[in-house]
Amino acid sequence: MTEEIIRIGQLDKSFSGVPVLKNINLSIYRGEILGIIGENGAGKSTLMKILAGIYYPQTAGDIFLNGVRAEITNPIEARRLGISLVPQEFNLIRDLPVYNNIFLGSELMKYGITLDKAAMRRRTVELLAELGVTLSPDEQIENLSAAQKQMVEISKALAFHSQVLIMDEPTTMLTHYEIDILFRLVRKLRKNGLTIVYISHKLKEVKELTDRVVVLRDGEIVHDGPTSEVTTLQMAQKMVGRDLSSLFPPKNASVENETVFEVKDLSVPGVLRNVSFQLRRGEILGLAGLVGAGRTEVAETILGLRRKSGGEIRVNGATVSIMEPRNAVRKGISYLSEDRQGSGIITSFSVAQNTTLVSLPKYSNRLFHRIDKRSERRQVDSYIQEFHVKTESQEKRLENLSGGNQQKISLAKSIDTTPDILIIDEPTRGVDVSAKHEIYVFINKLVRENRISCVMISSELEEIIGMCNRVVVMREGTVTGELEGDAISEENIMAMATGAAEEKPA
């Protein structure tokens, strides 16, 4: 017997008259792992935010919990009803420690009057241990990496006994090892009778983990059935409603020998040790490694966000000194950070404002001291079309775009400064398969036309393998190997990333 926990009946949701969810009918059962997939902007997060009490009320329709009609008016109420959400965008308070964040709004109390800090810290240690994370409960959020923040979000959702655990893109910042731990945990929770709703663009994960898959397209459910009955390709096709071409364009075959950018013996105490690599003109160079290997730290040091204790950065053969990201832009270097919220974009600003945040001088007319609004609009429009950004207008506030569409704008922003060297960290985080393809084609076009050379940091090995001419692998803050051409394979990268390569006898 399968027991229905949640039933959603004829649900609609509109934002200022624009329908986002249309006539949703969905049952969710006890002890299942339900996958929800769909293109960027299809309505996945909106549906889950309604269940988690973040968007209330829905425009029409009903939600039944264990057979009883429920009004889920706010997140605390949702938690009380046994529904927890790991949100797609981090929702943590930067200057509070980990344990405070986990219990925010539902603090544990002693004698009903004082905060029970000891109990909260103890429970936090337990939760983190369960996730295989070594992290102090007292660490401030602002000191955490994106992966660690994601682990805190997951712990926060697990902190309370819930019936339904919703995970909206929980693995975008995690690598193989951490994903393994998470999957094991999710399966254990299912065994204990918990229901897990799992949203992801990584269709392989959805195939591997879930029991049933629901496909949303333009706010409607277009498929609902057992995961075992569909392949990942069929999932992708149901999402986009058409046949898909191959994901990766052919690599640039005419990379030049000239080095445009070089990092030499870069060191940051306790973080990086003698990191060196060279980027050639027209090349896409991958930086691969596990979380914590130091890839993002390399980028941050190049940008002047971390102070180096030794080493050099060279652009076109000349040593440059970059004290802050602004200097980097002037040297022709642009950086897309892995943590969208942590850097660069301002979610309360519009799509257009965000796209040209750094590149605005490009649009200013020196003679009249004015911004050429027309050319700015035209450029922003071309990105919206190129990356299929789902937005009603350029004026829409970024925070009201879906996660994947925010990512596309972040990428557009980093390209719009017309850099010679583009450093992108997790460029397709949370982006759907067809938009990924468009982004790959776009970057590929830029390198082919010799407009940029690119350093790509990514945890998605498929992306590294599909896009890069050469790959530098890092482990524990240092470079452990370099791969080129046919040698770029999952096996070789993982051997270097985990250290297995060194243990093998020569």
Ligand X SMILES: Nc1ncnc2c1ncn2[C@@H]1O[C@H](COP(=O)(O)OP(=O)(O)OP(=O)(O)O)[C@@H](O)[C@H]1O
Tokens of 307: 């102070």
For position 45 contacting ligand X by CB under 6 A, the verdict is yes
For position 8 contacting ligand X by CB under 6 A, the verdict is no
For position 295 contacting ligand X by CB under 6 A, the verdict is no
Q: Where are the beta strands (DSSP E) in 50-97?
A: 60-65, 68-69, 83-86
Q: Are 485 and 468 in contact (CB under 8 A)?
A: no
Q: Are 480 and 496 in contact (CB under 8 A)?
A: yes
**Which of 405, 410, 417, 453 contacts ligand X by CB under 6 A?**
405
Amino acid, res. 504: K
For 189, counting Cβ atoms within 10 Å of its Cβ (0-12 exposed, 13-18 middle, 19+ buried), the class is: middle
Ramachandran bin of 353, using left for φ above 0, alpha for ψ from -120 to 50, beta for the remaining angles? alpha
Contact pattern from residue 407 through residue 436 relative to ligand X, giving x for each residue in contact according to CB under 6 A and a dash for the rest: -----------------------x-x----
Q: How many residues bind ligand X (CB under 6 A)?
A: 20
**Which of 33, 42, 345, 497 contacts ligand X by CB under 6 A?**
42
Collapsing DSSP to helix, strand or coil, 239 comes out as helix
**Which of 220, 400, 442, 478 contacts ligand X by CB under 6 A?**
400
Stretch that binds Mg ion, among 65-73, 83-91, 292-300, 385-393 (CB under 5 A): 83-91
* Residues constituting the chain: 506
For position 459 contacting Mg ion by CB under 5 A, the verdict is no
**Which of 404, 419, 477, 481 contacts ligand X by CB under 6 A?**
404
Cα 364 to Cα 259: distance, rounded to the nearest angstrom = 32
Alpha-helical runs (H) found in 333-372:
351-355
Taking CB within 5 to 8 Å according to partner kind, which of Mg ion, ligand X, none is near residue 401?
Answer: ligand X
For position 100 contacting ligand X by CB under 6 A, the verdict is no
Nearer to ligand X, 195 or 406 (CB): 406
Taking CB within 5 to 8 Å according to partner kind, which of Mg ion, ligand X, none is near residue 405?
Answer: ligand X
**Which of 46, 175, 350, 354 contacts ligand X by CB under 6 A?**
46
Residue of 439, 481, 492, 503 lying closest to 287 (CA atoms): 481
Cα 285 to Cα 309: distance, rounded to the nearest angstrom = 24
Q: How far is the CB of 26 from Mg ion (least distance, A)?
A: 17
Cα 151 to Cα 144: distance, rounded to the nearest angstrom = 10
For position 38 contacting ligand X by CB under 6 A, the verdict is yes
Taking CB within 5 to 8 Å according to partner kind, which of Mg ion, ligand X, none is near residue 400?
Answer: ligand X
Contact residues for ligand X, defined by CB under 6 A: 15, 20, 38, 40-46, 88, 390, 400-405, 430, 432
